[in-house]
Amino acid sequence: MAGRGRSRVWREVGMVCMMVMLSAMVERVTGLIVAKDGSGDFMKLTEALNAASPGTRIIVKPGEYREKVVVTTPNIVLIGTPGQSVIVQGESSNSAGSTLLSATFTVKAKATGFVAMGMVFKNDYGRNDEPGEQAVAAAVMADSSFYNCQFIGWQDTLYAKKGRQYYKDCYIEGSVDFAFGAATAQFVDCVLYAKRRGSLTIASYTAQQRLSSTDTNGYVFIGGQLKCDAGVRALLGRAWGKFARTVFIKVAMDNCIDPKGWSSVGDSNWGTTSFSAEYQCTGPGADRSGRVSWSKVLTDEEAAYFSSPTFLGGSRSPPGGTTAVSSTPAPTKAPLEARSESAPSSEYFSISDEDLGSVAGPSSYEDLEPPSSEWIPMSMGSDDDQL
């Protein structure tokens, strides 16, 4: 009898364990839902992230969520309704203590494998009536990918700080250096929109921070558009590090591009040591006749390298090295309306195995499977911003 009793107990324990496992599997498949009206699992994204485990899919229903969000869990998939799921906060700039502390949305280095789709990240500090300070909409420090997302701010909108990052069909808006940092990043078919702030009519799309010639990071823009408010004159980039690396490949450039194209932040000599390059860009802003002498034109081979997953994989340089560049010249609205015309579509873009990915799926965000735990994990060192 005692033996049969123990057997029954173990069967019951086994059934409980199986139920727990099935419950966990169901939660992994269904994920979590955030809805302001209380119809989901949580009313705030921060609460959902606190409850999430690695690989959790979080669906954010339409609405404006005014909160400051920090992601620390690996392999989170964040799915919104394009243009309608908005994470926003204001009155926060670097006067809060640092550039990172100003961010509306932060992906910490330990949160590798983060994916966002159809989300809007916004920092509304720094409008015309406020002083010009860094006010970050999103700060990203981990291997991440963003699809059909919008990043809206004024000064320093997107802090692509470090890690390997991939942006597809995204929209980035600001007035000064609004894509900046030292990440290894590709921006594919994205729209960058430079807007006027008060009397400030000089803008800069990027400020890349590669500090050493052996660093593998850099920003590469492939396809997409560069657009501006009327009356704004925008630089393609300002070197924020001695060896800053920024490349534009087949990008359509409006006539608001400053003819010289490029500049530097701080040391005026950084231009000559940076890698500031273009390749087969189009539109009136692509005319290179007035470009600074140290800007470059990629060869076909270099363009193929920077456009490939090899660059995101951390290769130090394209075949032949980054200094062997051709000197042959490349071929040569109102904000709200411009944004609505050029904002990303709601179409879902899956991530191929060659592009950073283990996230692939059908035509609906809500049918998306979570990424695998093997999504290019990467040690980021011991910086305190991993915490």
Task: State pLDDT tens for residues 275-306.
Answer: 889 999 999 999 999 999 989 999 999 999 99
Q: Which two tokens stand for residue 181?
A: 């940092």
Q: What does DSSP assign to residue 200? A: B
pTM score: 0.75
**210: domain range?**
174-345
Residue 130 domain-assigned? yes
DSSP 214: T
Check residue 99 and give its pLDDT: 54
User: Could you tell me if residue 382 is inside a domain?
Assistant: no
* 147 and 199 assigned to the same domain: no
What pLDDT, on the 0 to 100 scale, is given for residue 43? 96
Domain end position, chosen among 132, 161, 190? 161
Mark whether 179 and 308 lie in a shared domain: yes
Last residue of a domain, one of 128, 161, 194: 161
Are 185 and 317 members of one domain?
Answer: yes
Tell me the C-alpha distance between 231 and 140, whole Å. 31
Joined together, the tokens standing for residue 169 give 């069909």
Q: Give the pLDDT score at 364.
A: 33
What was the pLDDT predicted at 277?
A: 92
Residue 187 sits in the same domain as residue 319 = yes
Tell me if 226 sits within 8 A of 246, measured CB to CB. Answer: no
pLDDT of residue 221: 95
Residue type, 175: S
pLDDT bin (cut points 50, 70, 90) of residue 171 is very high
User: Which amino acid is it at 220?
Assistant: V
Which tens digits make up the pLDDT trace of 351-368?
A: 333 332 222 222 233 333
Residue 3 has pLDDT above 80, yes or no: no
Calpha distance 49→46 (Å, rounded): 5
| Cα-based distances in Å from 364 to 158, 229, 311, 367 | 27, 34, 29, 5
Which sign, positive or negative, has the C-alpha torsion 120, 118, 256, 222?
Answer: positive
Q: Is 189 a catalytic residue?
A: no
Please identify which of the residues 124, 143, 156, 287 carries the catalytic annotation.
156
Nearest Cα neighbor of 281 from 324, 221, 237, 240 is 221
- Quick check: is 156 catalytic? yes
Q: Catalytic residue among 124, 143, 169, 177, which?
A: 177
pLDDT of 314 above 70: no
Are 198 and 156 contained in the same domain? no
| Residue 147 domain-assigned (yes or no) | yes
pLDDT, averaged across the chain: 73
229 found inside a domain = yes
pLDDT the model gives residue 17: 42
- Say what percent of the chain tops pLDDT 70: 67
Is residue 167 in a domain?
no
Residue 257 lies in a domain: yes
Write down the pLDDT at residue 4. Answer: 53
Q: Which one-letter amino acid corresponds to residue 51? A: A
Q: 299 lies in a domain?
A: yes
What CATH number is given to the structural domain containing 283?
Answer: 2.160.20.10
Q: Which tokens hold the place of 219?
A: 């920003």
- Could you give the maximum distance between any two Cα atoms of the chain, in Å? 94
Q: What is the pLDDT of residues 238-263, one digit of tens each?
A: 877 788 888 999 999 999 999 988 88
Provide the pLDDT confidence category of residue 200 given band limits of 50, 70 and 90.
Answer: low
Q: Look at strands 296-297 and 252-253 and give their pairing.
A: unpaired
How many domains does the chain fold into?
A: 3
Q: Is 178 exposed, middle or buried (0-12, 13-18, 19+ CB in 10 A)?
A: buried
What is the model's pLDDT at position 106? 92
pLDDT surpasses 80 at 128: no
Distance CA 164, CA 311 (A): 10
Same domain, yes or no: 148 and 248: no
In 3D space, the residue among 177, 275, 277 whose CA is nearest the CA of residue 221 turns out to be 277
Predicted confidence (pLDDT) at residue 225 exceeds the cutoff of 90:
yes
Residues 109 and 189 in one domain: no
Q: Are the C-beta atoms of 253 and 228 separated by less than 8 Å?
A: no
- DSSP-assigned states of every residue in 186-197: EEES-EEEE--B
Amino acid at 300: D
**Residue entry with tokens 């450039």:** 253
Of the candidates 184, 163, 88, the one whose C-alpha atom is nearest the C-alpha of residue 127 is 88
Statement: residue 315 has pLDDT above 60: no
Pair 218, 323 in one domain: yes
Residue 360 maps to a domain:
no
